[in-house]
Structures are given as C-alpha cells and as structure tokens.
Amino acid sequence: MGAEAGHISSNNSSRRELLTGVALAVAGGLAAGALPAHADEPNLSKYEPMDALKGKDYGKPRMKVKDYVTTPSGLQYQDIKEGSGSSPQRGDTVVIDWDGYTIGYYGRPFEARNKPKGSSFNDDNKDFYRFVLGEGKVIPAFEEAVADMKPGGIRRIIVPLELGYPEDNWRKLGPKPSTFAGDRALDFVLANKGMIDKTLLFDLELIRVDAPKGGR
C-alpha cells in the first residue's frame, strides 16, 4: 500500500490538470454550442427532454459530439488516456476519481477533485469514489462507462438525462457531489422545470479494481 500511495501522490498534480483543465475547456466549447448536432441514436428521442416542452414536437436537438464514440444507449465517450491491465468484472469494486459538469447549462462544475489523495496521511484512498460494478447504486452511465475501462485509464463521457440521475434527483444514486456548492450547482439544473438542457459531462479515472474478498 505504501508504494501505491507514493505513486498516487506523485501523479496527483498532473492528473488534476488533465481532469480539470481539459474538461473545463471542452465544457466551455460544448455549452457555447460549438459542437452539438442532431442525434440519431435509436434509444433516445430527437430532442433534449425539457419539462417546459413536454408533448411538443420541437425543442433543442440532442447534443452529439464530434470524435466521440456513441453507444446504443446514447452514451458518448472519448478515451483521454488508455489504461492497462484487466477491465473490471461484475461484482468487482472499482476505485475512481471523477469530475462532473453541467455541460448542457454553461459547463458549470459540480465536482472537482483537487484534494491530495494517497498521501502518508491518507493512504487508504478514502477520498476516491468506490462502487461495486453491477450493483445498481450509481447512475447507468457510470456502470456502462467503467465496465470496459482499464486501470489508469481516463474517459470523458457525455451523459443524456436518461442515463443520469433518476427522476432528476442526484440523491437517489451515486456519485454525489462532495460539497454544498456542488450540491447546489447540480440541483439547480436537475430540479429546474424550465427549458434547461440537463446533459452532464463526467471525467472518470479508473484508479484500480478490487476483486470480491471471497473471490468470484
């Protein structure tokens, strides 16, 4: 654990720059309408779901980003850094670092991991986020995105409303913002009943994969 902690600490600064700096630049461009286009995924409606436009045959076209892979569910992703090793299996605990942005509404951050992790005072990685793959305790986008990642990999995902927080309530599934400011930023968008695009952007880094203690 000591060697792992030292490695994480030494790479923390560069990881934060990659996760935060690049995401803010991309978020700004997307929120300004630089890249959106009509979506053609069979599992999604043509327009962004907005409470104020329910039942209408018009609206804001779905955001579709150039050079991103689009899965059948409508999730869009781009691998910023390829990992190595084996991908997690159902039942494994995945340890991740993540950032979150309201990409459809001015690209405002609601989670930005800037605190040191894995230092000699925090060698259990308690500030990283953990969940059991396949347990259904995180938003569907996280389950899908992490499933074929490899440790050390960084993936940026564009999350449509249907793959995000159920019933526009971030309290029902993880991941949840770790600060009051993050709570407010995310809740303002998700709870809004007007014409707000609730598409979210996340950057995920898969730190490691832990197999079940009792084995598979």
More confident residue, 153 or 57: 153
pLDDT for residue 50: 87
pLDDT per residue over 66-80, tens digit each? 899 999 999 999 999
Domains and CATH numbers, the chain: 74-210 (3.10.50.40)
For residue 186, give Cα distances in angstroms to 17, 122, 194.
22, 28, 15
pLDDT exceeds 50 at position 8 = no
pLDDT band at 26 (very low <50, low <70, confident <90, very high): low
pLDDT band at 130 (very low <50, low <70, confident <90, very high): very high
Task: Tell me what the pLDDT averaged over the chain comes to.
Answer: 81
Q: Classify residue 207 as exposed, middle or buried by CB count within 10 Å of its CB (0-12, 13-18, 19+).
A: buried
pLDDT exceeds 70 at position 114 = no
14, 154 in Cβ contact below 8 A?
Answer: no
| Average pLDDT of the residues in 105-109 | 93
Q: How far apart are the C-alpha atoms of 45 and 179, rounded to whole Å?
A: 33
pLDDT exceeds 50 at position 83 = yes
